Every structure is written in C-alpha cells, then in structure tokens.
Amino acid sequence: MIMVGPKAFIHLENLFHNYNLIKQQLNGIPIMAVVKANAYGHGAVPVAKALRSKGVNQFAVFTFEEALELKAAGIEEDILVFCRPTKDMLSEAAARNIALNLSALEDLPLFIEADPSPKFHLKVDTGMSRLGIPFNSVVNILQQIKSNEHLKCEGIYSHYATADEGELSYAEYQLDQFNQVLQDAKELDLKIKHIHFSNSGTVLNMPQTSFNLVRVGMLLYGAFPSEEVPMDMLIKPVMEFKGPVVALREVSAGTKVSYGGVWEAPQDTIIGVIQTGFADGFPRSWYMDGYVGLRGKYYPIAGRVCMDQFMVDFGEANVRVGDEVLIFGQNNTDTIHVEDIAQAIDSTSYVLLTAIGGRTERIFIN
C-alpha cells in the first residue's frame, strides 16, 4: 500500500537514550511507562515492546481497551488502567494480569463482589480534584481493604496538579497529604507492593520525592512537560513528524494564499503544498509564525492550515515534489522542538503529540 501523506518516524534509539537518562536520575527506582493515548501518539504496542526489551515491566494506560490491545500484542507484564472500572471489566482483568483503578468510594463493592477479584491500585485525591478517594475517606477504605482478604490492593498512588510548574508549594502540600495516607496504611499494617506519585514533572523538579515506582510518560518521548521545569536533562525527541511536498506553484507578489486570503506573497515566490493538515495533528494556529525545516533551512508557513494540507513559502529554494519537510522533531539537518511550537501557540507538548492521528504512517527506526 502506497501512502502519500504525513509520516512519523519513531526513533527507538532516542527512546532508549531517554529511558537510560531517567533511570540514572532516579537511581534505580523502577519506571512505570505510561503508554496511554497510543503512547502519546508514538504507537503503544511498538513502544511497549521496545521498552520491555530494556527491562520495563510496568505499563500504564487510560482505557481498558488500551490494556487489551497490549495484551493481544503479547505484553504479559503488569498493566495499570487509570479509568474508573465497570463491572464487565473485572473478570477479564483478573485473568489477564491487568490492574484496575479504585478511585471512587462507590466502586469498592465491585471489587468486593467480584470472584475472582482483580488486583487494583488505590488512587487518593491529594489535591487534583479529579479521580481519587477523598483524603478524609481514605482511612475508611484502608480499613475495609485490611479486613477483606478477598481484595488485592497492589498499589497506592496519587497525581500532582502542579509538579511541572516553577512554584512547588502546592505539590509539596499534596506530598504531605500522600505521606499521611502512607502512614495510615502503615499503622494498619497494610502491605502495599507499589507506591507511586512521581511523574515526568517531579523527575525533574522533585526527584528526591520518588517512592518505589515512578510513572513516566512525556520525558520518555523526548519532550519536557512544561517550560517551567529544569531542562538540563539531555533528552532527545523520539518522534520526527514530516509532511510531503505534493505540488509546487510559482506565484507573483501580492498573491493571496489559503482560506481568508490573510497571507499575501511578499514577492514573487514558490509556494509548496504539503499534504498534512489539522486532521493529521498539524496545529491550525501555527500558521501565523510557523515554519518547517528542509535540508538545513527553515521556511515560513503561508496562510491558514487546511484540514488536509498547508502551504509553505519556499522563496527561490530548490524544492522538489516528493521532498518531505520537518514539522517537528529532529534529523541530521533540521531541528524543530515541539515545546517551541506549543509555547508559540499557547498549547502543550501533550496536546501536539497526542493529536498525531491514524492517517499518519508511523515508521519505527531501531
């Protein structure tokens, strides 16, 4: 099958490079690789298999279907599902080595009544106000877990709201809350296998606060979670996102390009049509100051990004149909950091990477 469209080259050697840097930062604390949302757009199954080859034996996803996809691909290692469970998940989770998420008081009866009951991680709300057992209800839940041998609580965890920001007082408050939960569990003599709170932000901002497992997503993929975290870790972008030149046309000065005619050619120039659009994950708002890379030079985007295509002002460059421009990532001649695009359009690296959709061909490079 011939595909003419965007391509995402997934550089697994960069994934391994990032993994090794993170391991060094954590002084040997095991990593739970977060591969939800198709591994942040990179391809969940190939990424999980690659990380497994380096010793990762804990993975996390959001939906139960994502966990089943990994299991169907032969990932037998532990998988944690972040979403709230439903009754129809329980028996298959127990059979397939999938840990579910106990994050709401009303979900506890599901685990008590299930036979067999799947293992689960207890999520505590320490200040995110999303999913999680309310802090003032945790002791009651812990007591029920202690008194019911049928329940298989393998982990306790929480989620930071501000760990990727420069001001960490709220993160420290959440950490105090979490430590109190752990003290409560200790006083009940609960044996918990996995304790995890840290994420990509705290790996950089608060590495000393890690417990015995660390959830890592964005850093593995070679992007920083925000511009406020320390950026001295020499991570490398894993994804190289490119779009093909499918047409070239000479236009005269003053020619309007794309919807609304908001861009006009400043002089006679060559306009290239790139077969990649916002339906493929190219950020529509990047057209104002956006640019692409080609053979060591950078060229401005010309006009509004369309659903399936966008245009580039190539000037007098020697460009050919079939050339592929760099949208973001890194190769031998060009570098465009996804973080820079995110900052320019008031977005995040998370949004841009996970937006890379199914029309983009992913090519995995070992």
329 contacts 338 by C-beta, under 8 angstroms: yes
259 an active-site residue? yes
Q: In sequence order, what DSSP letters do the residues of 299-313 get, joined into one string?
A: EEB-S---SS-EEEE
In the DSSP assignment, the letter for residue 13 is H
Joined together, the tokens standing for residue 105 give 């008081």
Strand segments, DSSP code E, in the chain are 7-11, 31-34, 58-61, 78-81, 98-102, 119-125, 133-134, 152-157, 194-196, 214-216, 239-251, 256-257, 263-264, 269-274, 291-294, 297-300, 310-315, 324-330, 335-336, 361-365
63 contacts 29 by C-beta, under 8 angstroms: no
Give the Cα separation of 171 and 165 in Å (integer). 9
Q: Which residue has the tokens 């690296």?
A: 349
User: Dihedral of CA 56/60/61/63: which sign?
Assistant: positive
Amino acid at 86: T
Distances, alpha carbon 248 to alpha carbons 6, 41, 43, 296, 303, in Å: 17, 30, 32, 20, 15
Which entry of 87, 191, 259, 298 is annotated as an active-site residue?
Answer: 259
87 an active-site residue? no
Looking at the DSSP bridge assignments, the partners of residue 239 are 10
Closest CA to 352 of 171, 229, 225, 254: 225
Which entry of 7, 19, 23, 36 is annotated as an active-site residue?
Answer: 36
Q: Which residues form the catalytic set?
A: 36, 259
